[in-house]
Chain A
Amino acid sequence: MNVNSFSELVEISEKTGVPLDKVVLHWEMLDTGNAPEKIVEEASKLLAIMEEEYESKKGKTFKTLVGLTGTNSKKMLEYLPNTIIGENAFTAATIAITMAESNAAMGKIVACPTAGASGVMPGVLLTLEKLGVERQKLVSGLIVAGAIGKIISKRASLSGAESGCQAEIGSATAMAAGAATHATGGTPTQVANAAALSLKSLMGLVCDPVGGFVEVPCVKRNASGAVIALLFSDIAKAGVESVVPFDEVVDAMGKVGRSMPESLRETGKGGIADTPTAKKIVQDFSNKFKL
């Protein structure tokens, strides 16, 4: 079954009344030969890893490899009672930062879809779980997210080195927005709109890690990804549509990625990495560990 667009999956689901996650599981079976039960079981395990890892890392400080981050998770958890943006959004951001800091400290993470963007999905799913969304629904959301990511990987890219941060945090955010929308009862069209709207809002984001390391600005971008995902899930469920459909947004993102100069594609040479402060940090660090 050669599916190249998300709209095909949405259409099949809406025409037949078969839930979107089940359509994705059929596609997966025809494409890869994996049994649906096996995919559900594996997706459930990935969610369990997100749950366990967050529970064990919550409120901790981290000694990261380069030491540019590691205390933000704790600060944010303590600040939670004072939040202005709202408890749910701030919780999602806190979880996302926790997982991203843990990643930078060689913790166990789920690369959903990449290690650098691994805080976004747990930020969204674990916040929904706290709100009482059933676990089985979160797993079905994760499966739908897998289809969103797979379409992005087919039509564009999930790699910062190829297409900038829009392909990593942008894709993770589109996936998480789709997952949240599906898990909370949104229609397949709303899922596609949530994914399209969130990817649009991160279009053009460059990959500019200081020294090339997954710390600055990667960790904090996970927080914005998680909050943007929840925001556009809500906006899509309110009935707001993306004028440009998801598949075309993905194509546009791929095009933008291909036109990005190499300095903005994970080389640590442009953007935030190309600031006096960043350069000093890198100089000091590499002097310490030169081979």
Chain B
Amino acid sequence: MSSILEIIGPSMIGPSSSHTLGAMRISRFAYNLVGSIPQKVIFYLHGSFQDTYIGHGTWLALIAGLCGIKTDEPRVSKANEIAKNLGMEYEFEPIDLGNVHPNTVKIVTYKDNAHHEIIGSSIGAGRIVITSIDSVGCELNGEYPTLLIENEDIPGALSSIIRTISINGTNIARLNLNRASKYLKLASAVIELDNEVPNSTIKSLKMLDVVKSVMYVKPI
């Protein structure tokens, strides 16, 4: 149940919780996924985001999130200049993502040789849903530390992953499994946790034979 603090707050940068705060939270999720400021980012705007991205300051909020700016810092309004100084290139493109929430953005980041794609929707009152990370479907609100694991789709894979996470006392809040390819025996696990995991856990996960890759995203 929501706290009264969510009713009488939060403090934020205006003008709109869904078009400014929510947009920025999606972008901050992308920042946490990349782990630092990317060299280049393309924002693909869908629906209402596309129609009103200037008038609601959505574009500045999106840039600010990927510059690592916090959601109530007044310098959000100067995010375009800040990005320039930090050397982050950005572009905005229209997109039709089909039957998704009107306030949806696809964020594509480039850093060195790595690139990431995140799709997220701002669903009202600053709340968000991340629906896709690097083409893996998910449903994340960005409030939990999250592990994204690509693993072999074989018996026992999941239990060894869970054992490795739990061994340090980390509790799993939600778990979502996807089969990426039955033929290649590949699956992905999106695991939301109650507390942040130490680096050692991420290292141990990477050392498991069944694990192909591990990404860790801090809460927004």
Binding site for B on A (CB under 8 A): 24, 28, 31-32, 34, 39, 42-43, 46, 49, 64-66, 102-116, 118, 121, 142-143, 145-147, 149-150, 153, 158-159, 161-162, 175, 211-215, 285-286, 289, 291
Contacts and interface: CB of A to CB of B under 8 A. Distances in A.
Contacts of A104: 14-15
B17 A111 contact: yes
Nearest to B3: A32
B14 A214 contact: yes
B50 A66 contact: no
A34 B2 CA distance: 11
B8 A106 contact: no
A211 B55 contact: yes
A113 B45 CA distance: 27
B109 interface: no
Contact of B126 (A110, A111, A143): A111
Contacts of B20: 106, 115
Contacts of B21: 111, 115
Contact of A146 (B5, B54, B74): B5
6 contacts: A42-B5, A104-B15, A106-B13, A114-B17, A215-B15, A289-B53
B15 A28 contact: no
A115 B12 contact: yes
Contacts of A109: 11-14
Contacts of B93: 291
Contacts of B50: 291
A291 B94 contact: yes
B16 A214 contact: yes
Interface in B53-67: 53-57, 60
Contacts of B2: 32, 150, 153
Interface of B: 1-5, 7-18, 20-21, 45, 48, 50-57, 60, 72-74, 76-77, 92-94, 124-126
B45 to A, nearest CB: 7
Given A112-B7, A146-B4, 8 more contacts: A65-B54, A66-B55, A106-B20, A111-B11, A111-B21, A115-B15, A162-B124, A289-B54
Contacts of B13: 106-109
Given A153-B2, A158-B7, A286-B51, A115 B17 contact: yes
Nearest to A148: B7
Contacts of A143: 4, 8
Contacts of B3: 28, 31-32, 34, 39
A282 B96 CA distance: 22
Contact of A213 (B7, B17, B52, B124): B52
Nearest to A144: B4
Contacts of B12: 108-111, 115
Contacts of A32: 1-3
Contacts of A116: 15-16
Contacts of B17: 111, 114-115
Contacts of A110: 8-12
A291 B92 CA distance: 8
A35 to B, nearest CB: 11
B7 A291 contact: no
Nearest to B10: A111
Contact of B7 (A66, A105, A108, A149): A149
A65 B57 contact: yes
B8 A213 contact: no
B57 A106 contact: yes
